[in-house]
Amino acid sequence: MRIGVAGLWHETNTFAMEQNDSMETVHIQRGDALLPQEHVRNFMGGFIEGANRPDVELVPALGIGFSHGGLIHAKVYERCRSMIVDALREAKPLDGVYFSFHGAMVAGTPYTDAEGKLVQEARRILGDIPMVGTYDFHAIMSDLEIQSLVPFPNNTNPHIDGYERGLEAAKCLLQMLDGTIQPITHRVLVPIIGPNIGQSTWSHLPVEEERLLLHQLNLKREALEETPRVINITILGGYGYGDSPDAGMSVIATTDGDAILAKKLANDLANDLWTQRGELQKVRPIYPIDEGIRMAMKQQETPVLLVDLGDDPGSACPADSPAILESLIRNQARDCALTIRDAEVVEAGIAAGVGATITMDVGGKIDQRFYQPLQVTGVVKSIDDGRYVICGPTHGGWGRKVVRETFRETNVGSRIVLRIGNKIDVIFSQRQTGKERDFFKSAGILLEEKQILVVKSNQAHRASFDPVVASTIELNTPGVSTINYASLSYQYLYRPIWPIDSDMDWVPFE
């Protein structure tokens, strides 16, 4: 049996400044480069292992991702879609297809259902063959996809179960090819947008985990999956920064040939989610910047982790907000470490050399709708090339069951560490900031010596930092990953939707 493998990966923040308007922002994996040669615990690794059968041949077609997290321009998307479809056509004959998706891509104006259109086009050229797909927890899934393939999204947030979902997708596809199951999927779109920090499904802290709504609903979901003829059930978080008709939360149930059961299971969980939606806003308190910093300065147990929610690079923010740095300096905080993306500062630091004192306007250079550059003076403490190894655990598959073979290398571009004021160490990087502790360690920052650490993130930092910090304080900071969804200018999001329309009512069975 020949199984085609294709990928399309992007989480689109339609409110971000840095858009993908040319093919120069596209990263392409062709042929064998699409299939990892070593064992990895992510979606693709799980699917490859699950499909490891003597009569199965994996046929890599094409995988495409993007540099920036902003809108994909229509012509760029259409070109990429055509490339993937052409690669699948060239791979024929195929008995089945596995799609590796993120699932939250938004392309063009007006809105285009990127993954749905791709799957629809693949169906047109390949015919009625079995198809499955793996998705991120924050996927924006449409009816086009539900009608065309069997979805296997993350069940966890932070996402640590990609490998397991890949295994399940492979098992399902092989059973379809063997003719032993006939999957039927039902989706209920629940009118809830975010909040992402309220959508945690697990925590390293047992007391916190017990009160997480999605943790409790996941326990019920797992029990329901033991029902005969049930293949898969998922509660999807949706993606509030991707302006689209399907951006809200949803519940998806797949059964073996039982449409009535799939609908009942999805409606049951959707009703639970809706009636308890208020719990999503009670997970953890969020503080104004100054208040949160003063709290951190008073903590006896350290380090304290401050989370910059509004400038999360994982949500396509530029990661160059100096808002927290400004408050740290003004409040005379000491022994701190944080990150800011600023290529100009990196270049100036490299030119000046280690030990030199430089005065620069830092941050606020990419998107000035929310914050402005901040002038600081500091000493260049170190310079490096920005290459480091993520040793896990971290977001996206390197989770609690981490194995050493999952170590991976990454590169954020050249970095400098600038020491400002009372031992405030700022890691300036050229292209991106890290949200795992290895990013700090590789820059020479000893976490145990710091009173305060700052990470630009929302959920992705938790798998790495939760086990090693004394406490975490989340801050209501400016940026396009704001927690205030009502402040965003939606055009395509279906309304009414909670909590933007706080007084609305909804019944999942209608």
In angstroms, rounded to a whole number, what is the distance separating the alpha carbons of residues 117 and 416?
Answer: 43
Q: Are 243 and 111 in contact (CB under 8 A)?
A: yes
Name, in order, each residue with C-beta under 8 angstroms of 54's C-beta and a sequence gap of 6 or more. Answer: none
Residue 12's pLDDT is 95
Cα dihedral 33, 390, 285, 332, rounded to 10, equals -130
Q: What pLDDT, in 10s, does the model give residues 67-81?
A: 878 999 999 999 999
- Choose between 378 and 25: higher pLDDT: 378
Angle (nearest 5°) at CA 125 between 121 and 126 = 110
Element (H, E) at 357: strand 357-362
CA-closest candidate to residue 166, choices 151, 147, 179 = 151
State the residue for tokens 């509030």: 240
Q: Among 26-40, 55-69, 390-404, 435-449, which stretch is predicted with the lowest mean pLDDT?
A: 390-404
pLDDT tens by residue, 328-346: 999 999 999 999 999 999 9
CB-count burial class (<10 Å; 0-12, 13-18, 19+) for 383:
middle
Per the DSSP assignment, residues forming a β-bridge with 21 are: none
> How confident is residue 10, by pLDDT bands cut at 50, 70 and 90?
very high
**Looking at residue 392, what is its pLDDT?**
66
Contact 241, 488 (CB under 8 A): yes
Confidence band of 401 (pLDDT split at 50, 70, 90): very low
Q: What is the rounded CA–CA span in Å between residue 288 and residue 15?
A: 23
Confidence label for 358 from pLDDT (cuts 50, 70 and 90)? very high
Taking CA atoms, 224 is separated from 250, 254, 269, in Å, by: 16, 11, 10
Half-sphere exposure of 99 (CA within 13 A, CB side): 31
Residue 409: its H or E element:
strand 408-411
pLDDT over 90 (residue 36): no
Q: Where in the chain are the domains? A: 2-281, 289-475
Residues in the chain: 510
CA 353 to chain centre: 36
pLDDT for position 28: 96
Helical axes 213-224 vs 259-275, angle rounded to 10°: 160
Distance CA 16, CA 373 (A): 18
Provide the 10 A C-beta neighbour count for residue 256.
17
Q: Per-residue confidence at 460, pLDDT binned at 50, 70, 90?
A: confident
Q: Which of 138-147, 291-300, 386-395 has the lowest mean pLDDT?
A: 386-395
Asked if 380 and 349 touch (Cβ cutoff 8 Å), the reply is: yes
Question: How many helical (H) and strand (E) elements, i.e. helices and strands, does the chain have?
Answer: 13, 22
Q: What is the DSSP letter of 75?
A: H
Quick one: what percent of the chain has pLDDT higher than 70? 96
Quote the pLDDT of residue 219: 98
pTM of the predicted model as reported, rounded to 2 decimal places: 0.90
pLDDT above 60 for 379: yes
E-only strand ranges, 20-105:
26-30, 57-66, 96-101
Inform me whether the pLDDT recorded for 250 exceeds 50.
yes
- 37: confidence class by pLDDT, cuts 50, 70, 90: low
Three-state DSSP class for 384?
strand
Nearest-angstrom CA–CA distance, 365 and 25: 20
C-alpha 336/C-alpha 287 separation (Å) is 18
- The yes-or-no verdict on residue 491 having pLDDT over 80 is yes
